Structure 1
Amino acid sequence: MSTPEGSKESAIFRRYLSAVVLHAQAGAKAVGLGATDLYALNILELSGPMTPGELGTRTGLTTGPTTRLIDRLEAAGYVRRAADPGDRRKVIVEPVGRPADLDKVLAPARRAIGEILSEYPADQRAVLFEYFERAAAAYQRAAEEIA
């Protein structure tokens, strides 16, 4: 079932997505990073080390901007380039640190969302998290199709 564009449900969902993006941008700015920099750190934290090409694909950046992104994160001490253990000719980017104040900056929203989620019974939370997992995969696939 699809939610019709312009419906109340569609507007609520779009407001939610906009608020999530706005919060991520504000959080990145508060710790001295660009939104894409913080997004790249999140990708590395969730997925583990990867080649610069893979990181570029996941962030939607071309080669030049990906190199500058990695340079910035490496200079700030958040990532390092290392030889790929499976193929020493390749380079991988691995996370080595996080912005010191990131958890502090994100804590109020995490707390508020945690409180909202705690109001739902366990079976409804399970549905919500199943949705988050499936929707994340759907958005990832859609982004890959667009790119």
Structure 2
Amino acid sequence: MVKSNAGKAELIERLGRLIVRWQEATQRHDETVGEIFQLGPAERLCLSFLTSGPQTASAIARATRLTPAAVTALVDRLEARNYVRRRADPVDRRKVLVEADAATEALINEVYLPLARAGAAAFDKHGAKELKVVAEVLHEAIAIQDEMTAQLLAWSGKKER
């Protein structure tokens, strides 16, 4: 436990630097995956988004910040490589859903599952109280990042899709 304000300020500064390094390491890993598997940033973002389940093209457009026409081309490219497949929405057969296909599952198993397992092993070294604090900090950091992104978009005059 930090006892002085100076010690706390130093720790906050250190955490800030570590978060930046973590973001950089995450970006390097993501870019390396893209280079190896020949997937661009929008393609990787789309596949990541689809891990939560089948999505409509409009939901993919919002998640990737692409136009509907660009999403159609993106899905066509990913479908041609067996990363995604289209299927009718079981609730409304007029709608089409896009879902992860075999190549996405293979990519997850080959690249992201080992990363998840290593992360889980690192977290397993800590107690539940510590992990709750980490979860709270990450939740707050994501909220801050989202708010700063919204402010940048407002400042630049661009709309978030």
Please, what TM-score do these two structures have when normalized by structure 1?
Answer: 0.75
For 1:35, the equivalent position in structure 2 comes to 41
Per-residue deviation at 1:16? Answer: 1.2
**What is the CA deviation profile of residues 53-95 of structure 1, one whole-angstrom value per residue up to 9, with x for unaligned ones?**
1101111111222111101111111212222233222222122
- List per-residue Cα deviations over 1:37-66 (Å, max 9, x = no partner): 1221111111x2121111011111112221
Partner of 1:65: 70
Give the unaligned 5+ runs of structure 1.
Answer: none
2:125 aligns to what?
A: 119
Comparing 119-128 with 137-146, greater Cα deviation is found at: 137-146
Kindly indicate whether residue 25 of structure 2 is the aligned counterpart of residue 25 of structure 1: no
Which residue of structure 1 lines up, in the alignment, with residue 55 of structure 2? 50
What's the CA shift string for 1:2-52, capped at 9, x where partnerless? x9xxx4433322221121122112123222322321221111111x21211
Q: Which one-letter code corresponds to 2:95 in the other structure?
A: K
Q: Is the 8 A contact 1:44 1:50 kept in 2?
A: yes
Larger Rg: 2
**Structure-2 change in CA distance of 1:11 and 1:62 (3 Å):** same
3-state SS, counterpart of residue 106 of structure 2:
coil
- C-alpha distance in 1 between matches for 2:92 and 2:149: 29
Percent identity, aligned pairs only? Answer: 31
Amino acid at match of 1:92: L
Paired residue for 1:80, among 67, 76, 85?
Answer: 85
Greater share of helix: 2
- Cα RMSD after superposing both structures: 2.7
Q: For residues 64 and 122 of structure 1, what CA distance do their matches in structure 2 show?
A: 46
For 1:77, the aligned partner's letter is N
Relative to structure 1, the CA distance from residue 138 to residue 96 in structure 2 (aligned partners, 3 Å threshold; closer, same or farther) is farther
1:8 & 1:103 partners in 2: Cα distance? 34
The 8 Å contact of residues 49 and 93 in structure 1, kept in 2 or not, is answered as yes
Amino acid at match of 1:12: L
Q: Aligned pairs, how many? A: 141
Q: Partner amino acid for 1:127?
A: V
Q: Which runs of 5+ in 2 are unaligned?
A: 1-8, 154-159
| TM-score normalised per structure 2 | 0.70
